[in-house]
Chains A and B, each alone.
Chain A
Amino acid sequence: NAGVTQTPKFQVLKTGQSMTLQCAQDMNHEYMSWYRQDPGMGLRLIHYSVGAGITDQGEVPNGYNVSRSTTEDFPLRLLSAAPSQTSVYFCASRPGGSNEKLFFGSGTQLSVL
């Protein structure tokens, strides 16, 4: 059982470039999300989805776009990369309900030069 799979693990971009971080889960989870973690800090929610076709903004959505066409996939798009987006990005999923833990991907280390 693969769980939550994120690709790539590492990425270097130049300012202004665009790219997509991929995320897939095979647990049939309703909820999927993207977090970013800056050095020495906690995780901040970028965007999330409560089901296919439904997305919403989290705490820090600016500069990012998401879509959820299937239950399994939840890609994160950087529209025009900026140095402030240098961070570690985590995709996570969970079943619905307040008592359900998040399952995390292994993270993507993104550097924007």
Chain B
Amino acid sequence: AQKITQTQPGMFVQEKEAVTLDCTYDTSDPSYGLFWYKQPSSGEMIFLIYQGSYDQQNATEGRYSLNFQKARKSANLVISASQLGDSAMYFCAIGTNAGNMLTFGGGTRLMVKP
């Protein structure tokens, strides 16, 4: 079975600053993928970024990057130049070849201050 841990229930960041959201994972499957989703107050789940366990480089998507440290089993999300619209819940998730669906962490609520 796989597990995701997000240790920051809530975080504040000043607008235009960078912020890192923590995520650690546990799995015995050597092949897995790590995902980050954003959930704004409207409730929909928005896919942000993906990192595969065999990917050599950290994933980037616009202002989002994933700081993947395989040995430490961490997959932190970095948001650069925060915007007010980044205020939301952020979920880290893992998918493996053995597991058929994603397992989610408890989430981090990010609040961007003007």
Known: A48-B100, A56-B100. A42 touches B105 (CB 8 A): yes
Is B81 at the interface (CB under 8 A from chain A)?
no
Known: A31-B100, A99-B52, A102-B102. A107 touches B44 (CB 8 A): yes
Is the beta-carbon distance between B101 and A100 smaller than 8 angstroms?
no
Is A45 at the interface (CB under 8 A from chain B)?
yes
CB distance from B56 to the nearest CB of A (A): 15
Is A106 at the interface (CB under 8 A from chain B)?
yes
Is the beta-carbon distance between A42 and B101 smaller than 8 angstroms?
no
CB distance from B30 to the nearest CB of A (A): 10
Range class of the B interface residue count: 20 to 34
Is B96 at the interface (CB under 8 A from chain A)?
yes
Is the beta-carbon distance between B96 and A98 smaller than 8 angstroms?
yes
Report the bound CA distance from A94 to B47 in whole Å. Answer: 12
User: In chain A, what residue has the closest Cβ to B48?
Assistant: A101
Is A12 at the interface (CB under 8 A from chain B)?
no
Is the beta-carbon distance between B47 and A101 smaller than 8 angstroms?
yes
Is A82 at the interface (CB under 8 A from chain B)?
no
Q: Which residues of A contact B99 (CB under 8 A)?
A: 98
Is the beta-carbon distance between A106 and B52 smaller than 8 angstroms?
no
Q: Which residues of B contact A58 (CB under 8 A)?
A: 101
Chain B residues within 8 Å of A, Cβ to Cβ: 6, 29, 31-33, 35, 43-45, 47, 50, 52, 91, 93, 95-97, 99-107
Which A-B residue pairs are the 4 nearest by beta carbons?
A104-B45, A42-B104, A42-B106, A43-B104
